[in-house]
Amino acid sequence: MKLPGSCHCGRIAFEVEVGDGVTEVYDCNCSMCRRRGGLLWFAPRTALELKTPESNLGSYRFNKERLDHHHCPVCGIAPFSEGANPKTGEATVAVNVRCLPDVDLATLKVTAFDGASL
């Protein structure tokens, strides 16, 4: 199943393949996620298809510079990040499920993720 996603203003739009759906997400405690309040769902990078030009993405790297934290330069929303999985090296995307309007946030299992230690 594919779900649409976007930033608030629509400058960044995408679809993500979620298989049978999103049921579990991660609440990361890194300095970036604590401030932006995202709930993350991880998938292979190939699961996300950008529907708008890549040039619409603003990006930010910090700390060990392992992830590209993408955001909209117009509305400021951060819909996803991408980088190599630290365990497997596989290209991975961390989707902020708050940017997926078809996901019912009240039904999700939320697990703490210690991103501050990475």
Instruction: Report domain extents, the chain.
Output: 2-112
pLDDT tens, per residue, the chain with 118 residues: 999 999 999 999 999 999 999 999 999 888 888 888 889 999 999 999 999 999 999 988 766 657 899 999 999 999 999 998 878 989 999 999 999 999 999 999 999 988 778 7
pTM higher than the cut 0.75: yes
pLDDT of amino acid 42: 94
User: Which top CATH class is 2-112?
Assistant: mainly beta
Provide Rg for the chain, Cα atoms.
13
CA distance 108 to 118: 24
CA distance 86 to 12: 26
Residue 66: count other Cβ atoms within 10 Å of its Cβ. 13
pLDDT of amino acid 37: 87
pLDDT of amino acid 63: 65
Residue 14: phi and psi, rounded to 5, are -155, 170
